[in-house]
């Protein structure tokens, strides 16, 4: 899971490494366009987290027919939404770039990259749904293999398209598009024609073991599907979309300080994103385990999953915080170009490094609660975080005459507020779950009454 998540995020990092060779304005353009792709990741969360909850709980109950039908349903929804968002991204690229930069060169390069990369709004959405569904069934190896192939292809195509074919920053966008087309194709083969393992020993007496491989089945269209999407998936998607909003607030706050601060903040965010991937990994794996055990009515295992995940989340968070703080000068060379951008990137890393501890309190509770259908209150906690950063960026900092560093401090403080609320919500849920463990756990149709 860790390898797959790291590779999935490596698309952005691979492009950043090659784009830095085009100059600081190209880095700033890439930083601005990158945050727009949180929109599709948010849409992916709407479908992906609902699919994870439905499929993992169906596996826990042993209802594989429903799991396969659910996969087909969400795959069709992903195709429809992906086409709409890709068209909207291509048509809206100029208006979007105009919001975040006054520099004509940054604007031009950003539009070129955005238009080339617009098809990934569809492709990334399909990858999210496919990989989440496969992990919900208990298969964590296939997504790793798919992403390994795709990212290697992306890294190989970047220098060819950007420099050998002289496509510039557009080549980086098209390299990602081609790599993700390959990833979607591999998933289609995996889900359409699964390989069946042959027994290495004579079968034991009794009924043959059930084939638990996830494949496409007959789509399930029901009223309750859309209720679950809106009550479970939509809050999860909004919460992820708020990352896009948060980064937009930061970039808007950097705009008046010049493109060097914009590039440092955007590029620094990309690098920091790689460092918290193990926390997202831990949370995603915990969500799949939580959903299956919740569906199998194993309350003690749900609680144990939370305890183990949080323990290791804190261990990693503190270790990563120390590495980012001490290694800020080195990391800056991966995120920025030019003397000014490098100095600003060091400032970003040192003020932002404590967020890695806060993310352990945020992602693990959030993903686990989403897996059992409790998405609303974690979303409210994310709104609180965004509100704090917006207040400092647009009101307090300008009135007090604070510099751009104050925005980084606000992001860190707000992350701990969100994490504390998330931990409280998970602890409250587990307490109620353990008190009622002698009673049957809620079915998907009973979640609303349990939340009430």
Q: pLDDT per position in the chain (452 positions), as tens?
A: 777 766 666 666 777 788 888 888 888 888 778 767 777 777 888 888 888 888 988 888 888 889 999 999 999 999 999 999 999 989 988 988 888 788 899 899 999 998 998 999 999 999 999 998 998 888 888 988 998 899 899 999 999 999 999 999 999 999 999 999 999 999 999 998 754 544 444 444 544 445 678 888 899 888 788 888 888 788 888 887 887 788 888 888 887 787 788 878 877 887 887 788 788 888 988 988 898 898 888 889 999 999 999 999 999 999 999 999 999 888 888 777 778 888 888 999 999 999 999 999 999 999 999 888 788 899 999 999 999 999 999 999 999 889 888 999 999 999 999 999 999 999 999 998 888 765 544 454 444 444 44
Q: Are 15 and 270 in contact (CB under 8 A)?
A: no
Domains in the chain: how many in total? 1
123, part of any domain: yes
201, part of any domain: no
452, part of any domain: no
383, part of any domain: yes
Instruction: For residue 317, give every residue at least 6 positions away whose Cβ sits within 8 Å of its Cβ, in sequence order, or none.
Output: 279, 356, 357, 358, 359, 360
399, part of any domain: yes
202, part of any domain: no
217, part of any domain: no
Q: Are 147 and 190 in contact (CB under 8 A)?
A: no
Domain that includes residue 179, residue range: 2-194+222-447
CA distances from residue 13 to 43, 161, 342, 354, 450 in whole angstroms, order as listed: 22, 17, 17, 22, 42
Q: What's the alpha-carbon Rg for the chain, to the nearest Å? A: 22
Q: Tell me which DSSP letter residue 445 carries.
A: G
200, part of any domain: no
């Amino acid at each position: 899971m860790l390898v797959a998540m790291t590779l999935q995020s490596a698309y952005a990092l691979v492009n950043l490494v090659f784009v830095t060779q085009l100059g600081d304005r190209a880095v700033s353009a890439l930083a601005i366009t990158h945050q727009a792709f949180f929109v599709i990741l948010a849409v992916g969360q709407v479908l992906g987290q609902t699919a994870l909850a439905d499929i993992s709980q169906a596996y826990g109950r042993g209802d594989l027919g429903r799991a396969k039908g659910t996969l087909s349903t969400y795959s069709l929804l992903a195709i429809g939404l992906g086409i709409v968002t890709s068209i909207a991204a291509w048509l809206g690229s100029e208006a979007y770039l105009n919001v975040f930069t006054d520099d004509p060169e940054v604007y031009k390069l950003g539009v070129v990259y955005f238009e080339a990369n617009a098809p990934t709004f569809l492709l990334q959405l399909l990858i999210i749904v496919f990989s989440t569904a496969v992990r919900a069934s208990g298969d964590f190896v296939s997504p790793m293999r798919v992403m390994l192939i795709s990212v290697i292809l992306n890294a190989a195509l970047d220098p060819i398209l950007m420099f050998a074919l002289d496509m510039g920053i557009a080549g980086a966008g098209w390299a990602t598009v081609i790599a993700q087309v390959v990833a979607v194709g591999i998933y289609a083969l995996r889900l359409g024609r699964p390989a069946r393992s042959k027994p290495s020993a004579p079968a034991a007496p009794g009924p043959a073991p059930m084939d638990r491989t996830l494949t496409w089945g007959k789509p399930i269209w029901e009223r309750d599907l859309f209720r679950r999407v809106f009550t479970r998936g939509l809050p999860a998607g909004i919460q992820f979309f708020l990352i896009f909003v948060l980064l937009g607030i930061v970039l808007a706050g950097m705009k008046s300080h010049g493109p060097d601060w914009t590039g440092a903040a955007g590029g620094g965010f990309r690098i920091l994103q790689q460092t918290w991937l193990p926390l997202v990994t831990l949370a995603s794996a915990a969500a799949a385990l939580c959903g299956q055990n919740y569906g199998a009515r194993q309350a003690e295992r749900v609680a144990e999953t939370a305890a183990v995940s949080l323990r290791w989340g804190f261990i990693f968070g503190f270790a990563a915080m120390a590495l980012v703080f001490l290694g800020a000068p080195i990391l800056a060379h991966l995120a920025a170009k030019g003397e000014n951008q490098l100095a600003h990137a060091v400032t970003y890393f040192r003020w932002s490094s404590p967020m890695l501890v806060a993310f352990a309190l945020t992602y693990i509770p959030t993903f686990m609660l989403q897996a059992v259908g409790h998405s609303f209150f974690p979303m409210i906690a994310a709104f609180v975080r965004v509100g704090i950063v917006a207040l400092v960026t647009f009101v307090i900092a300008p009135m007090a005459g604070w510099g751009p560093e104050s925005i980084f401090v606000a992001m860190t403080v707000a992350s701990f507020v969100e994490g504390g609320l998330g931990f409280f919500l998970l602890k409250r849920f587990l307490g109620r779950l353990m008190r009622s463990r002698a009673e049957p756990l809620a079915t998907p149709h009973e979640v609303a009454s349990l939340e009430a």
